[in-house]
Amino acid sequence: MKFSVIQENLVKGLQIVNRIATTRATLPVLGNIMLMTDQGRLKLVTTDLELAIDTYVGAKVEIEGAITIPARTFSEFVTNNNDTTIDFSLKDTVLTATSRHYTASIMGIDALEFPTVPPINQEKPITLNATLLKEAINQTVFATTLDETRPVLNGVALFLEPTGIKLVATDSYRLAEKKMNQPTGYSESTMVIIPARTLLELNRLITDDSAEVKLFIDKHQVMFVCGESHLVSRLIEGNFPAYENLIPKDLTTTATVNRQEFIASLKMASLFSRDSAYNVTFTVSEKDITLKALSLFWMSCRYSQQMQCSLNFNHRKRVIGFRGLFNQLKTKPTSMLLCRYGRKDR
């Protein structure tokens, strides 16, 4: 194998795939990046057996070939190399990199030992707006849990319906739902659970220049195509909780507040509620909302603040405990925030 590549372009490609490679795996090859020439381009691939990502980099290819190289060593060499172009040549399993000021030889592992990513059915692609998809991920993925005893809650449920898409996540305490009004081409409703880590990696692939993301779903896998990059992931098997009944239907009280002011107030209140699981209560009255927090360890530490708001309510007064709202509030792009709740028993 022999090829030349522009250093800046190679760095961008490595930034996309490098996060997946891991040195903690039992298979040493999983800590490597596979370099493969493909029709005049250089293909970079990494996988951890649960998730795989590849991207293409423009290159001048003289001799075709493939090799896997330790991800950390290779990435650090390329990143710290300030020469414009780097030439690579392979002999047996040793990759030699040569540029104007630097020369390095790196021992690799034969590409045949690199795990093969199972092919996925690409007959029914779903094209999604990249900006709207990234926004939907940000507004739901925070509600997943890291508790491995309930794997279905480690991911985001993707509901594909003929008229649109829903993303839903919960950790059994918080619940986030986001609807996207985009046709899917599916005649019947379908649900899959995508690992939260997969969606976070997809978010990193989506840039300001990304116009669309193509989605392919198979029985056990999902693939996202964003520009020159492909992200393939296993799906989480299991039944997602029936969450619809948890969302109140009879919302009787509405309060509109300034979003940034509300975030700042919650952040200040959290300083006094660390030892009470960050519980913050707010009282809705006729004219304003009052946020309160009390330290259980230091009973003398209290916090209270009143906020002006626009109200429409049937209940004279209401106190609700809040926890873990910061991530959700930060993902809302609007300047004003609409808070609604229903009966006391809901």
Listed in order, the ranges of the chain carrying CATH 3.10.150.10 are: 2-113, 126-244, 248-341
How far CA 175 is from CA of 156, 168, 199, 241, 248, in Å, comes to 11, 7, 17, 11, 12
Could you tell me the two tokens for 15?
A: 């930034």
Measure the CA–CA gap between 314 and 251, rounded to whole angstroms: 10
Q: Helices then strands (H, E): number in the chain? A: 6, 24
103 has which bridge partners? 98
| DSSP class of 73 | H
Was domain 126-244 assigned CATH 3.10.150.10? yes
Measure the CA–CA gap between 25 and 335, rounded to whole angstroms: 45
345 has which bridge partners? none
pLDDT of residue 61: 94
What are the DSSP calls for 38-67, one per residue?
ETTEEEEEEE-SSEEEEEEEE-EEEE--EE
3-state secondary structure of 210: coil
| Full-model pTM | 0.82
Write the single-letter amino acid at 122: Q
CA 32 to chain centre: 23
- Superfamily of 248-341 according to CATH: DNA Polymerase III, subunit A, domain 2 (3.10.150.10)
Domain 2-113, CATH class in plain words: alpha beta
pLDDT of residue 121: 82
Measure the CA–CA gap between 82 and 64, rounded to whole angstroms: 26
Q: In terms of Cα–Cα distance, which of 67, 116, 55 is closest to 92?
A: 67
The tens place of each residue's pLDDT in the chain, 346 residues long, gives: 999 999 999 999 999 999 898 877 788 999 999 999 998 899 999 999 999 999 999 999 999 999 999 999 999 999 999 999 999 999 999 999 999 999 999 999 999 999 998 888 888 888 999 999 999 999 999 889 988 889 999 999 999 888 889 999 998 878 889 999 887 777 788 899 999 999 999 999 998 888 899 999 988 999 999 999 999 999 999 999 888 877 777 766 677 777 777 777 777 777 776 665 666 777 777 667 777 776 655 444 444 555 555 555 555 445 454 555 545 555 555 555 556 666 544 4
Could you tell me the two tokens for 89?
A: 């040549």
Measure the CA–CA gap between 241 and 245, rounded to whole angstroms: 10
CA 234, 247, 157: angle at the middle one, nearest 5?
Answer: 5
29, 116 in Cβ contact below 8 A? no
The count of C-alpha atoms lying within 13 angstroms of the C-alpha of 48, restricted to the half-sphere facing its C-beta, is 15
Write the single-letter amino acid at 58: G
